[in-house]
Amino acid sequence: MAVRLKDCRGRAHDAIRSYRLHGNVVRVFQEVGIVILEPLRIASYLFGHLDGMNESDNLCEVAPELPTEDQALVRAIGRLVEQLRGLWDTRGEWPSYDALIDVGAVGYRLFEEFGVHAQPQPDGQAYINVPFTVDTMPAGSAQADMLRALMGGYRS
């Protein structure tokens, strides 16, 4: 898990900076998704295993041990574990698979926190927006220099 958590935000920003040059929204969604969803997948296995062994009554015991300082990831892992524990506690009682929607919502919320916003459209497609930030502009580009200047990134 340590390898997957290492510099997730930096790797996501790299994918977004690359998107600024290639413009393919499906590609940036996939590239950022690999970076941020893989730690969630691994965490689901880890905490499921710990719960199965009755070794982790409280996520707070383990969360400080997660090898990341990115609080967005720590919060997302916490939300995911809560969702999965809720599903486990109500197994056999689900009227439909709609209960799984909340698990997916954890991932979509994390996408937004990392700078990729996806909105469902009436036709079943998604509108993907990647807002401009100083951290996600290619270095040396005129747009990046202008954005940094406007946002106070330059100091005289």
Using the CB atoms, write b or e for 10-24: b if 16+ within 10 Å. ebbbebbbebbeeee
Q: Mind listing the pLDDT tens digit for each residue in 119-132?
A: 999 999 999 999 99
Q: Mind listing the pLDDT tens digit for each residue in 25-45?
A: 999 999 999 999 999 999 899
In the chain, the amino acid numbered 136 is T
- The enclosing H or E element of 73 equals helix 71-89
Q: Compute the average pLDDT of residues 107-120.
A: 94
Confidence of residue 54 (pLDDT cuts 50, 70, 90): confident
- How confident is the model at residue 155, as a pLDDT? 43
The predicted model scores a pTM of 0.78
Confidence of residue 1 (pLDDT cuts 50, 70, 90): low
